[in-house]
Amino acid sequence: MHLSFKAKLMTIMGIFSILLTLSVSLVNQHRLKTNLIASYAKESALVEDTVVAAVSAADKAFQLSDKDIEDEMRDHSDKLLQKYSEQPDVAKWDYQALKAGMGDMDIYMIDRSLTIRFSSFPPDVGLNFHDDNGTLSSFSELLTTRLNGNQFTTDGIDQETNTGMLRKYSYIPTPDHKYLIELGLYLNDNPVFQSFNFLEISNTLIEKYSYINDITVFTTTGKSIGKKGEDGKSLLISNQNVPAFNLALKESAVRVIKGVKDGDPVTYRYVPYSIRMDDQPNRFTDQRMIEIVYNDSELASKLQQNNQIFLLQLLATIVIALMISYIITKLVARPMYLASHDLLTGLSNRASFENALDSTIARSKKKQHKAALLHIDLDNFKRVNDTLGHDAGDSFLIEVGKRIRMAVIDSNHVAARLGGDEFVVILNHVEDTQDALDVANHIIDEMKRPIEIKGINVTNDLSTTVSIGIAISPEHAEDSEELYACADKALYHAKRSGKNTYSVYDETLMQEVASN
């Protein structure tokens, strides 16, 4: 039992030391990790500002030179309206001839179903803006508004859906609102765009910062500006990132999501911004979304190094803590054991029993269940000491302690030696009196088995048996002193009844015993 107590104390001390060490180490490791992540976040914010400034500058530089193009588009749109008034059957128009007379501007006739019915650019004929072609629903709604309106409108830089080429578009509805006339002009050869090509600026930034995988500028329709997909068409925002893209647009706030690109973990940051000049009306294409893809490899590598250092430090600290725990256990185990245990039998002592009984009764009151106290006394124990000597008596008491422990299987129950040949058992939770009777019977049966000391069967030859008094809480008493007194009276009745038996406290019966 001594070794078992030491093992328990060592385990408790070890667990406490490990938890304390782990807590301190985790706090330190978390602080280092937080500082490292914060450092990368700060640097990423600086890079983000640089990207936004560079791309925005390129956009605004193009807008400053945009007025001449818009005036030209307006003139051509007015001419097309005039032609429509003369020949409303647009199927008969010669679109290639019209394009040649408009400085190579492509013409698109969009009907009320938002489908391009006729065009000088054949690949786009049949394109429906309600179809799943990457165009967001807000653009479809905008086209409907323009078709039902009466104004000439233009967009900024946009991307052609089927080719991925950069275009500028203008729109004007026919007077009968049957068609929306769209003009499109390629911008790739525009001198201003060549001077402020934000695609080149983005590539420069990607080369400069190793943790940036990609930078893409998207329109509000989800089409990239200046980039093509594998199919040769305009590169679209990935489907899994559309919710973050839309939320960033709606709230005009940066959104961050984790993802995987080319098999590696990455972080997507969506940064919305507007290129509208102070003296210009707000246009659909004046809103932009910058997608910056950060790779986490460099940060992950440093975090992994941090984790390895943390684990080594933690292991070393745990080893030291366990060594200290072992030393402390060696020093305090014996005094602590003696303070709560009977030295001879290893059972709990009187002080430990009294504390346990108080706790049991308080717990039974709180949880409203029953508890039982068994008061055990050895019958004819004096014969053992007188016949075989006190050393044999001690050996007998040790064996009795073992058998009581064997009978009380539940580790939640408490077995104690109060002194001499007096023992007690606290049953922390019983459903009814029968549970206590079962334990009492088990103890009596255990004591009937032979106990041989110095060649003598003590249980048979010296008639050493046990008498047990049983009291139930709260049925018989609601505090520890009363419960003990009830069990003691029941024990007295058991001895008066012929020994080697048990007796359950009964107030009427006890009054009869007292009168005798």
Active-site residue (options: 66, 106, 421, 488): 421
> Are 467 and 424 contacting, i.e. CB atoms less than 8 angstroms apart?
no
CA angle 184, 188, 189 (to 5 degrees): 105
Q: Give 303-369 as a DSSP string.
A: HHHHHHHHHHHHHHHHHHHHHHHHHHHHHHHHHHHHHHB-TTT-SB-HHHHHHHHHHHHHHHHHHT-
CA distance 156 to 472: 89
Residue 348's nearest CA partner among 339, 336, 340 is 340
How many helices and strands (H and E) does the chain possess?
A: 15, 18
Residue 279 annotated among the catalytic residues of the structure: no
Residues found in the chain = 516
Question: What contacts 426, CB < 8 A, 6 or more positions away?
Answer: 353, 356, 357, 360, 371, 372, 373, 374, 413, 414, 415, 416
Give me 162's structure tokens. Answer: 């089927």
CA distance 417 to 378: 12
CA distance 254 to 152: 33
3 state DSSP class of 102: coil
Question: What contacts 402, CB < 8 A, 6 or more positions away?
Answer: 345
Ramachandran angles phi, psi of 344, nearest 5°? -80, -50
Q: Is the four-CA dihedral 161, 162, 166, 171 of positive or negative sign?
A: negative
- Annotated catalytic residues are 421
